[in-house]
């Protein structure tokens, strides 16, 4: 099984479920707080690979939901600068295994990449609180 470096927002319901799935598959988790990690362009950019810039963003982030930031209209350098200043904008989780970095938790893709023993019966990427008007609590 793999050693998975897992960057999460503490208290995130889906991140907790994602970690449970990874641990159940026998993976060793090294968990970090995405919000307090001292990111740089060089450390953050590899997680996004060749994904479209809009897919780098957390669609449930307050500044995205309010329309203040439109992920479809920003360029790469602007997106990274915004995320360095406001890590809530970063899509979660960030995953690293043996130097291979990924963003988000597409269960079939994670299964193909490192293996899962159980398949989730629910969407583990969309915040279950996204219908609420108040943002999720932040626990640094």
**Is there a contact between 26 and 3 (Cβ–Cβ < 8 Å)?**
no
Cα 43 from Cα 66, distance rounded (Å): 28
Catalytic residue among 12, 101, 127, 136: 12
pTM over 0.85: yes
Is 12 a known active-site residue?
Answer: yes
Phi-psi region of 2 (alpha: psi -120 to 50; beta: other; left: phi over 0): beta
Query: Which pLDDT does position 40 carry in this prediction?
Result: 98
Interval 54-65: pLDDT, tens? 999 999 999 999
Burial code (b: 16+ CB inside 10 Å, e: under 16) for 104-139 equals: bbebeebeeebebeeebeeebbebeeeeeeeebeee
Interval 24-77: pLDDT, tens? 999 999 999 999 999 999 999 999 999 999 999 999 999 999 999 999 999 999
């Amino acid at each position: 099984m793999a050693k998975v470096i897992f960057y999460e927002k503490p208290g995130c319901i889906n991140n907790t479920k994602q970690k449970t799935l990874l641990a159940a598959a026998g993976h060793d988790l090294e968990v970090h707080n995405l919000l307090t990690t001292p990111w740089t362009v060089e450390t953050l950019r590899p997680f996004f690979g060749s994904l479209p810039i809009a897919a780098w963003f957390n669609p449930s982030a307050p500044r995205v939901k309010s329309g203040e930031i439109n992920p479809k209209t920003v360029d790469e350098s602007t997106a990274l600068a915004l995320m360095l200043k406001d890590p809530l904008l970063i899509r979660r989780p960030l995953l690293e295994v043996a130097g291979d970095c990924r963003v988000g938790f597409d269960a079939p893709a994670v299964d193909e990449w490192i293996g899962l023993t159980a398949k989730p019966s629910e969407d583990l990427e969309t915040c279950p609180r996204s219908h609420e008007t108040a943002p999720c609590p932040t626990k640094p």
